[in-house]
Structure 1
């Protein structure tokens, strides 16, 4: 399965991303992720540095990821 990466700028400070998680992103979030499979919706706040990641939600299938992409108008 190909991995996709989508994003959209919310404002000058925040960007939403929809992508598979890497170990690095999990470490940057400081959150615990029991199952890193599928796609994750996460936010980066640029004012808090390029390393700031907050995981918001998990999409369990590629179809769910594409639906979120459409709903959030991501490219």
Structure 2
């Protein structure tokens, strides 16, 4: 009548311990998001803007209106 098959106590065979520290994974994800954001701004920049201008705008130390084209 009863089944002799035993079931595992694990849910979907998940490990109880993560392979990496959660804080390290959060920091890594944040760094990846910042990198993607910077390169997105860099690809959308005006031709006369420098990489330093993009970094200033990305960090909030300057606004797009405050960046100056290089002297000719």
**In which range does the TM-score fall when normalised by the shorter chain?**
under 0.3
Larger radius of gyration: 2
Q: Which has the higher helix share?
A: 2
More strand as a share of residues: 1
